[in-house]
Amino acid sequence: MERQLHAEFFSACGGDWEDVLGSLSEYDPFWRIRNEQAWLDPAMQLFVRAIEPSAFERVLTLKTENMRVFITIILSLFVLIGTAQDPYFPPTTGTTWETVDPSALGWCADQIPPLLQYLDSNNTKAFIVLKDGRIAIEHYFDTFTQDSVWYWASAGKSLTSFLVGLAQQDGSLDINQPSSNYLGAGWTSCTPAQEQAITVRHQLTMTTGLDDTTGDADCTDPACLHYLADPGTRWAYFNAPYTLLDGVIENATGSTMNSFVFSRLTQPAGISGAYVQVGYNNIFFSKPRSMARFGLLMLNQGTWNTTPIMTDMNYFTDMTTPSQTINNSYGYLWWLNGQTSYHLPGSQIEFPGMLMPNEPADGYNALGKNGQFINVIPSEGIVLVRMGNAPDGYPVPYLLNDEIWARLNAVICVSTAVEPNTRPEELTLYPNPAQDLLHITLPSNYLLGDVQIMDALGSALINQQVLSVATTIDLKDLSPGCYQCVVTTPQGRVVRGFVKE
């Protein structure tokens, strides 16, 4: 019966339950084996109505925004005619969405095929670029389509952060209050005083101080949540405290997550989707254009067309700027570019420089496992969306995202922020997985430097000088597992992951 309800739901959405089972299985291979929980509640019925055009009897009238036309600028033999428009917003229902020809933007359209080829070779399913709200690039790969449903993985963290802000805006919660006010006492195995010190803000900033180094990082049971450090003194990318924000929202507002999404995002902005429980995790699923809609809402600072959705600009600013001094590149569950340093999931080491050198410095990003991306670039009026799988398997595959930007910059006809001889792809690391030896080859024009092998906690286990462009690292004393290879030269720092068998 549950399976039939699931199938009927996605049929009404224009999708296929088997497709969703497939994407669930790719996210979690054991999901199909476990009991398929019934998640078709009344909120889901509202969701179906929201994305089924026949359920609506109202007509949305779009107001045409005034166009600002820039004067023609002639420089030497180059003529650049640029037009900039106020943001466009698609209707909240249906498939109508205005497009813009990349050539009309002055972009180098001949660079789009190499970009798409790179995306295709890296297991991309959907790719969208918005310019001032209009679709400049939209491409789907293999059998994936505009109507296919896919998971957001940890990119959904950024959506949850937005929902927390709406709940606080309504007066339903205060992020500076203890999390136990909304989750109840005993949601951790900490002492009462230790637990009371953890606030909702600590959950938003990954600074709860709970121990992420033992057991299942997804487990939200109190038995899995132990004290390690005082809240606010340690940054650690830890899924479990984040997942419990769902309980904070639901207990504070009296609404399920999906009801809250429907009333606050689907109805006013057409952002449709559903949270689905997968093990301990609550994973958001949607079509690609819903992901793009959320990016457009963020680009316009929480306002959809003329409808304000997030009016608390203090929260919006705090969400998209450094939230603490430990990891400068992290806001409220958003990854921030343009900062002086960053931390990575599973690591306690501080890496110098920007998270993604090829992305514009003002970008803020929703990043998820296997390459689920929303990049918002206010200075350029650009939203980038990517759904699919990724070859590296990192919890936050930022290197893939940065390489996409290196190629998108060529499309936009701007110089890449990183010179080609410092790009990660030109450092060869093999074999991967490795056994006793790991070989590293640098481009011939690299200056020599140092290499470190680090474990998941950021501890340097091997330090070695790079004495030539071809260096071999002895791994025989390392235990099997996942490691990071950090190569530092005068040209910059490159971080690559590898597996020791």
Query: Amino acid identity, residue 69?
Result: V
The Cα–Cα gap between 284 and 286 comes to 7
Among 81-85, 215-219, 328-332, 428-432, the range scoring the smallest mean pLDDT is: 81-85
Cα(134)–Cα(141) distance, rounded to whole angstroms?
21
Q: How far apart are CA 486 and CA 452, in angstroms?
A: 5
Q: What average pLDDT does range 472-498 have in this prediction?
A: 81
pLDDT at 108 over 90: yes
Whole-angstrom Cα distance, residue 411 to residue 150? 26
pLDDT exceeds cutoff 90 at 90:
yes
Q: What are phi and psi of 426, to 5 degrees?
A: -90, 0
Distances (CA, A) of 115 to 120, 127, 404, 408: 9, 10, 7, 7
Domains observed in the chain = 2-53+140-168+254-418 (3.40.710), 427-500 (2.60.40.1930)
pLDDT at 83 over 70: no
Supply the pLDDT for residue 449.
77
Pair 51, 272: CB distance under 8 Å:
yes
Q: Three-state SS for 149?
A: coil
Q: Where is 162: in which H helix or E strand?
A: helix 155-169
Read off the pLDDT of residues 342-378 as tens digits, 9 standing for 90 and up: 998 888 888 888 999 999 999 999 999 999 999 999 9
Q: What is the rounded CA–CA span in Å between residue 363 and residue 320?
A: 9
Residue 311 zone, left/alpha/beta (φ > 0; ψ -120 to 50; rest): alpha
Which band of pLDDT confidence, cut at 50, 70 and 90, is reported for residue 125? very high
pTM of the model: 0.76
433 preceded by a cis bond (ω within 30 of 0): yes
**Tokens standing for 11?**
């049929």
Percent of the chain with pLDDT over 70: 77
In this structure, what is the dihedral angle of CA atoms 138, 143, 149, 153, given to the nearest 10 degrees? -80
Six-digit token pair at 323?
């939230």
Residue 498: half-sphere exposure toward Cβ, Cα within 13 Å: 26
Residue 192 in 3-state DSSP? helix
Residue 115 pLDDT grade (very low, low, confident, very high; cuts 50, 70, 90): very high
In the β-sheet with 281-286, what is the strand arrangement from edge to edge? 150-151, 281-286, 274-278
**Beta carbons within 8 Å of 79's beta carbon, 6+ residues apart:** 72, 73
Distance CA 248, CA 245 (A): 5
First to last CA, the chain: 44
The pLDDT of residue 394 is 53
Alpha-carbon distance 368 to 156, whole Å? 7
Phi, psi dihedral angles at 236 (to 5 degrees): -150, 130
Reported as half-sphere exposure (CB side, CA atoms, 13 A), residue 66 has a value of: 2
pLDDT greater than 80 at residue 146? yes
Strands (E), 419-479: 428-430, 437-441, 450-454, 460-465, 470-474
What are the phi and psi torsion angles at 201 (to 5°)?
Answer: -60, -40
- What interhelical angle do 42-51 and 2-12 show, nearest 10? 20
What's the residue count for the chain? 501
Helix then strand then coil, % of the chain, to nearest 5: 30, 25, 45
Confidence of residue 49 (pLDDT cuts 50, 70, 90): very low
Closest to 281 (Cα-Cα) out of 332, 334, 216? 216
8 A C-beta contact, residue 168 and residue 122: no
